[in-house]
Amino acid sequence: MKTSHEPSGLRHLDLIETAGFGGYSLIDSGAGRKLERFGSVVVDRPEPQALWTPRAPESRWRSANAVFAGDDDEDKGRWRIDTPVPESWPVQVGTATMICRLASFRHMGLFPEQMPHWEWMLERIEERKRAAGDEPVRVLNLFAYTGAASLIAAAAGAHVTHVDASKKAISWAKENQAASKLGAAPIRWILDDAAKFVAREVRRGKTYDIILVDPPKFGRGPEGEVWDLFTSLPPLMRDCAALLAPAASLVLTVYAIRASTIAFDQLCREVLAGRGGAFQTGELAIREEGGAPDARAVPASLFTRWTGAANA
């Protein structure tokens, strides 16, 4: 007798993780916190899913440059700076240089768990370049924030359309462009509501080879447009499907951990029905530094990736 049923087409969930990179490491985690290094700065931030006990000595945690305290559910709080922290500092992320700072809502302008997606994107760019010859590879980055994916894609030779509803985020992304010495890179910076922009692109008959969708749970567009993940995402994904060129690729990342990755897998399968290709669905996580066999992984987000038939 079967005790569970799998969604159509979904055979297993994948855990895709990063153990960090030159500019970032997860030093320790536990007791609802995580201790991380961004470049030269060590921070202590909330992580409610770190249910286990920290392993590093208390002195290591006390050596953090800054500690974020507040209500994690609402991402409200403030930074307590214990040792001097620059107003901003560079962190190398592959071919991009990201300018980090202690921003509100406990962020620093960089989501390191996304590194596996950026590496996957680079593989797709190279495949498309080989297949397309002289035609540029077109990348659409939605909810693009400070632009790590946009800059990494542009450095690889792609033509990038970077869309975000925050003027501040786009300004920050342009700082990162300058720091990365990619001033001449073919990036279109679009300050707009993602849903409205995508709908217009569909009407214009535009297509893209790679689409990155990284929405927040809630948000507002530049003209006060309301974004709610569970009601706004389905129509956006249907429009994104209409923008995919033949044999294109798409990745959806969702930070609403209270949701199930199965739900987003099934949404992507619906909007991409009949397109063939291959799906991959699961979670992103960051593994603690050091490479020990029992190093813990901190879950970060849900994802579904689709690779068009020519690349599958």
pLDDT digits (tens, 9 = 90+) for 65-118: 999 987 545 456 899 999 999 999 999 999 999 999 998 788 999 999 999 999
Residue with tokens 């899913």: 49
pLDDT band at 300 (very low <50, low <70, confident <90, very high): very high
Q: What is the pLDDT of residues 13-47, one digit of tens each?
A: 999 999 999 999 999 999 999 999 999 999 999 99
**Which 3 state secondary structure label does DSSP give 171?**
helix
Residues 6+ apart with CB under 8 A from 234: 267, 271
* Bridging pattern class, strands 89-93 and 96-100: antiparallel
Classified as helix, coil or strand, 182 is coil
CA quadruple 231, 303, 113, 27: dihedral positive or negative?
positive
Return the beta strands (E) in the chain as ranges: 14-18, 24-30, 33-38, 41-46, 66-71, 76-81, 89-93, 96-100, 138-142, 159-164, 187-191, 208-213, 218-220, 226-228, 244-254, 278-287, 297-307
CATH for 14-307 (3.30.565.10, 3.40.718.10, 3.40.50.1370, 3.40.50.150): 3.40.50.150
Going from N- to C-terminal start, the domains of the chain cover 14-307
* pLDDT at 280 exceeding the cut of 90: yes
State pTM to two decimals.
0.91
Binning pLDDT at 50, 70 and 90, where does residue 162 land? Answer: very high
Whether the Cβ atoms of residue 43 and residue 311 lie closer than 8 Å to each other: no
Judged against a pLDDT cut of 90, whether residue 285 lies above it is answered with: yes
Mean pLDDT of the region 112-141: 94
